[in-house]
Structure 1
């Protein structure tokens, strides 16, 4: 029996420019692996189906390509995050305002974090 995350990775890799080698997805940065794992976990928990995810990701990739986006796959995980954001909004699990507020909080936390220290939301000076 195959593992669900392996099935999801294979399904996603079939028609998308996912950065990969012979053993599966590859990640240039830790956040890419975290984004990948988050989507796999949400799909495994039933938040959305593999088909819903494939449709959302495919739409983001098609939109980026139509706008002249990177065709070599180097922006793949940016599309991944956009697809996740839009899918969660469509399912009513968050809102554009909620995403924007959280992004702003992360940016403030990054600005307030000393160099070399981990960026934590708790470092946002406006966080209550």
Structure 2
């Protein structure tokens, strides 16, 4: 996983706060992650920002839209689903920046669903080469 640029992380948190999103991403002792995938999604966001694929203002707007869309569909957004919204926003900005196509995203999501369904609880989920190339079912 890439090393997190904490200055960029604080800029991201500031941009989110200015957009009315006040869930803390960072505490004095580091990030507020409950699962490893959340930290990975956070780190990927910082890397894509550092590569110039989007601005913090664009990111804050996209994340805000993701949260509002989820709330419209009944998600009370009590914090437990925050990084699901984050991942949705990350997918959108990456699609908009043409990091990958919608078809490639769909194939990868199908691979993860398949891998998740066949992995015993408590074990790490890993994609095999075959799962990476699964067609959408």
TM-score, L = length of structure 2: 0.74
Q: CA deviation at 1:87?
A: 1.6
Structure 2 CA distance for partners of 1:82 and 1:115, relative to 1, 3 Å: closer
Quick one: distance in 2 between partners of 1:126 and 1:62?
31
Structure 2 CA distance for partners of 1:106 and 1:68, relative to 1, 3 Å: closer
Please tell me whether the aligned partners of residues 43 and 49 of structure 1 are also in contact (alpha carbons under 8 angstroms): yes
Please tell me whether the aligned partners of residues 11 and 56 of structure 2 are also in contact (alpha carbons under 8 angstroms): no
Unaligned runs of 5+ in 1: none
**Partner residue, 1:118:** 124
**Partner residue, 2:87:** 81
In the alignment, which of 10, 13, 21 is matched to residue 9 of structure 1? 13
Please tell me whether the aligned partners of residues 56 and 83 of structure 1 are also in contact (alpha carbons under 8 angstroms): yes
Structure 2 CA distance for partners of 1:34 and 1:114, relative to 1, 3 Å: same
In structure 2, the residue corresponding to 1:59 is in which secondary structure? helix
TM-score, L = length of structure 1: 0.78
